[in-house]
């Protein structure tokens, strides 16, 4: 029971030390629902794909395998944006990825080079 009282006292102390504007925001959502002790969410760059790689690891591997002498910053930026979009399962980027895979297969099927 003592831990519960300590947590309640710490919660009140945190709340009291906040600006009135922030207090109002918490009260609007509900003081009882507010948990100042919850763990922070993982940052976006720590999200992993299905292979358990971060976006940074994927891009590093890709860039090491690509012929970067032929490509500039826009190429690298595009690859990184697509990487993040795929990891975050953004519909726009999934559409781009699916089209690129389909187009690559079409070129191979028709024996054309990109």
Specify whether the CB–CB gap between 15 and 26 falls below 8 A: yes
> What is the mean pLDDT of the segment spanning 94-110?
94
Residue 15 CB contacts under 8 Å (≥ 6 apart), including other chains:
23, 26, 31, 34, 36
d(CA 48, CA 32): 33
DSSP state of 75: H
Specify whether the CB–CB gap between 71 and 79 falls below 8 A: no
**Residue 41's pLDDT is what?**
61
Specify whether the CB–CB gap between 114 and 101 falls below 8 A: no
Domain ranges of the chain: 1-38, 44-109
Split at pLDDT 50, 70, 90, the class of 45 is very low
Model confidence pTM above 0.85: no
pLDDT digits (tens, 9 = 90+) for 70-92: 778 898 899 999 999 998 889 99
pLDDT at 43 over 70: no
**Residue 31's pLDDT is what?**
92
Question: To the nearest 10°, the Cα dihedral for 7, 10, 16, 21?
Answer: -60
**Residue 21's pLDDT is what?**
92
pLDDT at 51 over 70: yes
pLDDT at 105 over 60: yes
């Amino acid at each position: 029971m003592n831990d519960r009282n300590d947590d309640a006292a710490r919660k009140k102390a945190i709340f009291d030390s906040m600006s009135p504007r922030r207090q109002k925001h918490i009260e609007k959502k509900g003081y009882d629902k507010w948990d100042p002790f919850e763990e922070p969410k993982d940052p976006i760059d720590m999200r992993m794909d299905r292979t358990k790689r971060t976006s940074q690891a994927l891009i590093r591997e890709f860039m090491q395998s690509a012929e970067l002498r032929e490509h500039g910053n826009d190429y690298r930026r595009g690859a990184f944006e697509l990487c993040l979009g795929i990891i975050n399962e953004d519909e726009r980027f999934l559409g781009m990825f699916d089209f690129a895979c389909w187009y690559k297969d079409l070129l191979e099927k028709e024996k054309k080079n990109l």
